[in-house]
Structure 1
Amino acid sequence: MVILMSTAGNRRWWALGAMALAMLSVGLDGTILSVALPTLAVRLHASTVELQWFVAAYTLVIAVAVLPGGLLGDRFGRKKMLMTGLAVFGIGSVWCAYSSTAGQFIAARVVAGVGAAICIPLSLSTLTVLFSERERPRAVGIWSSATFLALPVGPILGGWLLSRYWSGWVFLINVPVVVLGLVALALAVPESLSARRPALDPVGVLASCAGLGLLTFGVIEAGQRGWSDGVALSEIAGGLLLLAGFGLWELRLGRRTGGQPLIDTALFRGRGFTWGTILAAMSGFAMIGVLFTVPQFFQAILGTDAMGSGLRLLPMIGGTIIGAGGADRIAARIGVRSTAAAGFTLLAAGLFLGAATSTTSGFGFVAAWIAVIGAGLGLTFATTTSAALSELSAERSGVGSAVMQSVQKVGAPLGSAVLGSVVNSAYRDHLHLAGLPGDLAGTVRDSVFAAQGVAGRLGSAGLLAQVRAAFTHGVDVMLVVCAVAMAVAVVLALLLLPGRGRHESTAPAAGPAEGPAERRPERVG
């Protein structure tokens, strides 16, 4: 009996390792691409707009496909669909490597995004099936640490590969990770699916995909064209209308006898799920702001290259791992609400401290405040995600996790567009370019890197100093905006999150002698 208990317990943690490996592979793809764009621009003869879609296509597909991805797992089996998604992601990665035109590459990114969209919610929903509420914060912390690990590893690995080998290897590097992930999933993860197989709800799937797709597309376009652009605003409005129609359809379907909506609206009756999801997205908003600007600061102000930027993100990643790893013990001692509030307080403090950065600040100062931000991110993400997961029954864990991920993934392009606009506006407002020819002034306003090129060609140390100061000012303003948002999150966490984790009524926690198959009211292989 003791051996059986130990085997069941160890299997759950090995399964978690398999899912973390899958998420590391998916995460690496996005971060490696950031350092490969200049090389791809030359190899594929890509325009600036095409380069933007190299990045946006992947994010857009993930945003629109996570909801049906979670549904497919609940209906056909989470292990089966998770392995399918990982295989599709691997196929997309190989296609990316061997694409010969920009159009082919964008199509390959779409395929990779579909695979990632299936993997992301199902890897998280499987935690609901495998782990009790007591174990879940630690499991989520390990899962999220694997996701965050891709942030520095991607640029470091990508920079090393690009400097030594064919550019296609930055995508083929996913293949061995995918293969290892498939083997680990096959051996360690039990199959699970809802005992009552959910209906596919084609109207809900189409409406949610169309609404999220149009909204995300509009936000990306607004980031490119400006927030006053009529076409972009029309797309955003159309997306919101479709999502409103989707919500009404789901409510109507839920009231029908035997109706099975894509989203169980009863989920939002629980404070843990509703505010855990919203607050997790808010912490992601801060993370996007930091990752958008700090690598640029390293390269534009500190003079590092892509690999150096990745290495200099390690204090943030270390802080994240520490925060996520300790979240369960802190929550057990002081409660979910206080733990989340403490994490957001750390985030706000680190962001406000970062806003004091100047052009003369050394890496030591920057490392200190990004480490504090990392600790806050790990603490808040693990705690708020666990609070949301505690409201999910195993029956609907796939769709519930997909809702959480959809909110966060839609927030990614929204946050980058909004915060990017803040940086650019503050940067441009801080420039004084009287006497500079119009074409050169326009180039200086476009980006800090283009501006440094102009200053170098003119041999103007004064212009270079002004550009560096203006960009640093833009970063500082953006960090203040993020810090204010995190201060608001502290208040929301204290007012709206549950104080302590509750006992699961729909998915009883496992006792010491229980394995996954014995403790869940659903089909688990």
Structure 2
Amino acid sequence: MEIRDNTGHPRRWAILGVLVISLLVVVLDNTILNVALRTLSDPVHGLGASQGELEWAINSYTLVFAGLLFTFGVLGDRAGRKRFLLIGLVLFGLSSLASAYAQSPGQLVAARALMGIGGAAIMPATLSIISNVFDPRERARAIGVWAGAVGLAVAIGPVLGGALLENFWWGSVFLINVPVIVLGVILVALLVPESRDPKPGRIDVFGVVLSVVGLVGLTYGIIDGGEHGFGRPLVWVSIVGGLAVLAWFVAVERRSEHPSLDVRLFKVPQFAGPVAIIGLVFFAAMGVLFFGSFYLQLVRGYTPLETGLLFLPFAGAQLIFAPRSAAMVRKYGGKAVAAVGLTLTVISLAAFVFIDAQTPIWVVLIFYFIQGIGMANIMPPATESIMSSLPREKAGVGSAISNTIRQVGGALGVAVLGSVLSAVYRGDVEPAVTGLPTQAQDAVKESISGAYAAAGQLGPAAPKLLAVANDSFITAMHWAAALSALVAALGIVVALRWLPGRADTSAPVREVTTTEPELAGTA
């Protein structure tokens, strides 16, 4: 058995700690936002945002983030990963300030899009630096810690957001990013070494524009159709047009000598399989977290802080199990670990089909915990499979694509499952509101948040209206949960078919090189 010297950076574990702080900002913001959705929809204590505007507050960030990850991964490899990480952190901090002081839902959506630009510079840089400073034999463990940091942010975010919302105005959930950003900038500047790709790719501006336009068009059609109905031509023009632009994007990337997304990589099963799994599982999970906040705060009546605490089993499970996932992969293989994780995720998502307003809350907490265990054992083996299938100097490409698919999957999950939620809710509640004033009817049919706002003006009729709205929301939640479970179940099929099995630990460590035919085009 060949034994090699450790090729990692001497300060690699301290560097990993700094990268975790940088990553916390990106993940923390989204988990805090889930708890704040109910407050943002309140016309008195928030911005009076509709469900569609709330979906855009999430998706304006994720779509810009996803569209720019291609380019920013390459720019970081070219100009310096440390430099790009610092730029991303500063921009994220400034746009967090803008989000905190937004005066309308439109301003918040715009500020969140700017945050997406900062996040797109931060996220690929963290994984690229990890792959650069760690020896391949330690990379899986480092990625496990990196994934555990996501669990930490998921744990901190809802509780911190709930505490802030109960003591300060809604903008505090964005303002809290600023001190974390300041600490991250100082530590990155002091500890993280600069690194570059010796043969960086070219910038594919046209491809980036096509990807953003296509994704925004598709998502706009889905969200608008769910909010106002799919019977209008504009909705289908947007959906079909978005799909056509995305197809054009793929065609352009296939012919390009310097593509932003090298579609040839998807011919490599070790790369394509885990990328597909990440997209499917985040499609399912993000949509469920979106409606879960409304279920807990409106249907069940919990405060923002209590809601944040109720998300802790989901986050705690990831904190506990994600760092141990690498050892499980070594023992049982990535295919087995990911398949079990996906199965647990499907079970937890399908459980929401049977949850209603009277379900004991401890039952909900158990399924959140199961979902956390499942997702903790999906991301590390999938991410390690992606990163190990590429040459070390092309780490930026792998991290950009995997995180792009993750963000696109989450954005489409919020859009599609949110549209299912809206359409089913509206169809179910509409017959019960015919006798209300026109303005109240419109508010009730728009979303369950609108129903609660309208109930404040109805006096004795309010309890009956809220009962109908809750029942309609739960019916809609059941449909959305069933769809999310089906999507996650597709991931099991992909994992069993294409994820690598148990590795031969007696063989010398193998590192992918650019002489391999499927990957030669990425050099």
Q: TM-score under structure 1 normalisation?
A: 0.85
How much identity, in percent, do the aligned residues show? Answer: 35
- Alignment map for 1:63-462 (pairs within 5 Å): 63-99=66-102, 104-165=107-168, 167-254=170-257, 260-428=258-426, 430-431=428-429, 433=431, 436-437=434-435, 439=438, 442-452=442-452, 454=455, 457-459=459-461
The Cα of 1:151 is off from its aligned counterpart by: 3.5
User: Which amino acid is the alignment partner of residue 474 of structure 1?
Assistant: A
Contact 1:285 1:482 in 2 (8 A): yes
Contact 2:279 2:408 in 1 (8 A): no
User: For 1:117-143, what per-residue CA distance to the aligned partner results, in whole angstroms no more than 9, with x for missing partners?
Assistant: 111222223232233444333323322
Alignment match, 1:523: none
User: Which amino acid is the alignment partner of residue 270 of structure 2?
Assistant: G
User: Which amino acid is the alignment partner of residue 343 of structure 1?
Assistant: G
User: For 1:4-35, what per-residue CA distance to the aligned partner results, in whole angstroms no more than 9, with x for missing partners?
Assistant: x9996662222222122112112222333451
77-86 vs 38-47, which moves further: 38-47
8-17 vs 270-279, which moves further: 8-17
Contact 2:226 2:423 in 1 (8 A): no
Alignment match, 2:521: none
Contact 2:55 2:415 in 1 (8 A): no
The Cα of 1:347 is off from its aligned counterpart by: 1.0
Distance 2:311 2:334 in 1: 28
Contact 1:80 1:191 in 2 (8 A): yes
User: For 1:332-384, what per-residue CA distance to the aligned partner results, in whole angstroms no more than 9, with x for missing partners?
Assistant: 11111111111111112222333322321121111111100111011112221
Q: Structure 1's 228 and 63: CA in aligned 2 closer, same or farther, altered over 3 A?
A: farther
Q: Structure 1's 33 and 349: CA in aligned 2 closer, same or farther, altered over 3 A?
A: closer
**Matched position secondary structure for 1:199:** coil
Distance 1:436 1:422 in 2: 22
Q: Structure 1's 203 and 436: CA in aligned 2 closer, same or farther, altered over 3 A?
A: closer
The Cα of 1:466 is off from its aligned counterpart by: 4.1
**Matched position secondary structure for 2:502:** coil
The Cα of 1:228 is off from its aligned counterpart by: 4.3
Contact 1:141 1:378 in 2 (8 A): no
Tell me how large the CA RMSD over aligned residues is: 3.1
Alignment match, 2:512: 506
Distance 1:446 1:110 in 2: 24
Contact 1:220 1:414 in 2 (8 A): no
Q: Structure 1's 299 and 42: CA in aligned 2 closer, same or farther, altered over 3 A?
A: closer
Unmatched 5+ stretches in structure 2: 515-523
Q: Structure 1's 217 and 68: CA in aligned 2 closer, same or farther, altered over 3 A?
A: farther
Unmatched 5+ stretches in structure 1: 255-259, 509-525
Q: TM-score under structure 2 normalisation?
A: 0.85
Contact 2:130 2:139 in 1 (8 A): yes
Contact 1:77 1:191 in 2 (8 A): yes
Contact 1:250 1:265 in 2 (8 A): yes
User: Which amino acid is the alignment partner of residue 339 of structure 1?
Assistant: V
Contact 1:89 1:112 in 2 (8 A): yes
Contact 1:79 1:191 in 2 (8 A): yes
Q: Structure 1's 161 and 350: CA in aligned 2 closer, same or farther, altered over 3 A?
A: closer
Contact 1:343 1:380 in 2 (8 A): yes
Distance 2:344 2:323 in 1: 16
